[in-house]
Structure 1
Amino acid sequence: MTNQNRLYIVSTPIGNYEDITLRALEILKTVDFIICEEFKEARRLLSRFKIEKELFSLNEHNREESSRELFEIISSGKSAALISDCGTPLFSDPGHLLVQMCINTNVEVVPVPGASSLMPALVGSGFNLDRFYYAGWLSPKKELRKTELSKLKNIKELIVLMETPYRLKAILTDISKIFGSSCQTVVAFDLTLPSEKFYRGKASEILKIVESKNLKGEFVLLINNR
């Protein structure tokens, strides 16, 4: 059972609903309400598991106002679950402000681990995972992205990048030019879905595959810059 005056950060599947944990389901069933990015995605998830809960939206368009309002509700003695559209919340998702408000006022914040694109991409890459550098999302602007990649080239580690589906070709092109066409790269594509595939090899070779197949889908990109 959940306790009052508590915020749960609940990981949800990134594509395959069977990846949800028993603990996540229990939390979603017993909290007073659920905080989501988009109602459509949240309702699809909850409907799949026959869960009916009041939903509140927290996204990039309303994060400040909604964070304050949701914090007041939780502080009044309610329990809430924060979920993202998929995966683990707070990785490039709204919610940080609400979590910080709770921490600053001693409202308990409880992470509920589960699905994430990061760990499957790493363990399936074949690279040594003793150390890695998570660079996250780069700028959508071409010149800024090139500048960021040029700075990352100085970090002699395994580098992990996230990007939107329609920029896969563009970022591989930039990596081939900045890190070198022979740079060993892995694209973890459509993780947990039937179309899941790991593309491993030189950046230039993977770029040719992406171009020939016109690949578009969710992905995590790893660069072996050691």
Structure 2
Amino acid sequence: MLTQKSFSQSNEGRLYLVPTPIGNLEDMTFRAINILKDVDLILAEDTRNTQKLLNHFEIDTKQMSFHEHNTQQRIPTILKMLEDGQQIAQVSDAGMPSISDPGQELVKVAVSQHLNVVPLPGSNAGITALIASGLVPQPFTFYGFLSRKTKEQKEELEVLKNNPNTVIFYEAPHRLAKTVKQIGSSFGTTRKMVLARELTKRYEEFIRGSIEEVQQWIAENEVRGEFVVMVEGNDHPQVTTNNEWESMTINEHVQKIIDDEQVKPTIAIKQVAKLRGLSKQEVYDIYHQLEQ
């Protein structure tokens, strides 16, 4: 068991998780600005993108790139700096670190080393869109990006189609039409759907209707901007779910999806990781260790 008192000693190293605006720079908090000014180093998903933010708020703290392709390479260096008492902030290009963005692996290792991890509140596209969607805001299931491969995407949606919660996805404009079509095929086209685009910006827009109506909107309009896709929950699922996996071990959960959906272990592991909020590597290690 671990207990963290985030500010008990002033000389301790801290990893600050700092949200950045999802569009409108005025959404940056005073505290976030001050933290970025005061820390020794900023870990940035894209240093060029973050530099624009730093320039706007006259922040001259040095940066280090930290993204999905160099995570494992950077973590030992970052841990050593934290152990030496340095103050480090991590930011993603927009919104919350770790939510469909880099950060989860660093947080996990920092926590395991008894280092202080301090989150700041701030912008999140999924929650921002949800509260204005008109759909039931809670409970909800945040899924993030679906797989890009059609077969895997279909398998993920099959697991979600009976979910009674509002489901939140993220999608890029060039993949939106395909993804919405797949959701309609799995969920049925009469289910309510809301698209949110350009959140907090001048051209912010919400598209509300049935999945069929949303598909028609996509066909008739130029699709631009990053999208939050929200689908109402299934009030009358054919199979009672009630998140029955919550009473299962991870190994049992993976095996159930393999048996029920007739998919490969790698697909089942990915679905279990998404549903449980774990990394694929964590689930993979547990499953294969038990398998052996």
Kept in 1: contact 2:171–2:228 (CA 8 A): yes
- What is the aligned-residue identity percentage? 36
1:179 maps to a residue whose letter is F
Please report the TM-score for the alignment, with normalisation by the length of structure 2.
Answer: 0.75
Measured on the aligned residues, the alpha-carbon RMSD in Å equals 1.5
Q: Which moved more, 1:161-170 or 1:56-65?
A: 161-170
- Measure, in 2, the Cα distance between the counterparts of 1:94 and 1:128: 29
Kept in 1: contact 2:42–2:61 (CA 8 A): yes
Q: Specify which of 106, 125, 142 is matched with residue 133 of structure 2.
A: 125
Q: Which has the higher contact order (CA 8 A, sep 6+)?
A: 1
Per-residue CA deviation, residues 137-178 of structure 1 (Å, 9 max, x unaligned), is 210111211111121102122111112222111111112222
- Measure, in 1, the Cα distance between the counterparts of 2:217 and 2:112: 49
Q: Look up the match of 1:135.
A: 143
Q: Which moved more, 1:47-56 or 1:3-12?
A: 3-12
SS of equivalent to 1:173: helix
Q: Specify which of 56, 69, 72 is matched with residue 48 of structure 1.
A: 56
- Measure, in 2, the Cα distance between the counterparts of 1:90 and 1:109: 13
2:102 maps to a residue whose letter is P
Kept in 1: contact 2:143–2:167 (CA 8 A): yes
Per-residue CA deviation, residues 108-128 of structure 1 (Å, 9 max, x unaligned), is 110011111011111010112
Per-residue CA deviation, residues 157-214 of structure 1 (Å, 9 max, x unaligned), is 2111112222111111112222112110001111111111110001111111112112
Per-residue CA deviation, residues 30-82 of structure 1 (Å, 9 max, x unaligned), is 01110011111110110111100110111111110111111111211100100
**Residue 200 of structure 2 corresponds to residue 163 of structure 1:** no
**Residue 209 of structure 2 corresponds to residue 201 of structure 1:** yes
Kept in 2: contact 1:189–1:217 (CA 8 A): yes
Which structure is larger by alpha-carbon Rg, 1 or 2?
2
Q: Look up the match of 2:106.
A: 98
- Measure, in 2, the Cα distance between the counterparts of 1:179 and 1:214: 25
Per-residue CA deviation, residues 77-114 of structure 1 (Å, 9 max, x unaligned), is 10010000110100122222221222112211100111
SS of equivalent to 2:64: strand
5+ residue gaps in structure 2?
Answer: 1-6, 235-292
- Measure, in 1, the Cα distance between the counterparts of 2:186 and 2:136: 22
Q: What are the residue-to-residue correspondences of 1:63-74 with 2, within 5 Å?
A: 63-74=71-82
2:225 maps to a residue whose letter is G
1:140 maps to a residue whose letter is R
Q: Specify which of 177, 181, 186 is matched with residue 194 of structure 2.
A: 186
- Measure, in 2, the Cα distance between the counterparts of 1:165 and 1:73: 39
Q: Look up the match of 1:13.
A: 21
Q: Look up the match of 1:219.
A: 227
Q: Look up the match of 1:113.
A: 121
Kept in 2: contact 1:187–1:199 (CA 8 A): yes
Q: What are the residue-to-residue correspondences of 1:138-153 with 2, within 5 Å?
A: 138-153=146-161
2:155 maps to a residue whose letter is T
- Measure, in 2, the Cα distance between the counterparts of 1:164 and 1:4: 40
Q: Specify which of 6, 29, 33 is matched with residue 37 of structure 2.
A: 29
Number of equivalent positions: 226
Please report the TM-score for the alignment, with normalisation by the length of structure 1.
Answer: 0.95
- Measure, in 1, the Cα distance between the counterparts of 2:43 and 2:161: 38
**Residue 65 of structure 2 corresponds to residue 87 of structure 1:** no
Question: What stretches of structure 1 move > 2 A for 4+ residues in a row?
Answer: 1-4
Kept in 1: contact 2:136–2:232 (CA 8 A): no
SS of equivalent to 1:125: coil
5+ residue gaps in structure 1?
Answer: none
Q: Which has the higher strand share?
A: 1
Q: Specify which of 142, 150, 154 is matched with residue 162 of structure 2.
A: 154
Kept in 2: contact 1:87–1:114 (CA 8 A): yes
1:170 maps to a residue whose letter is K
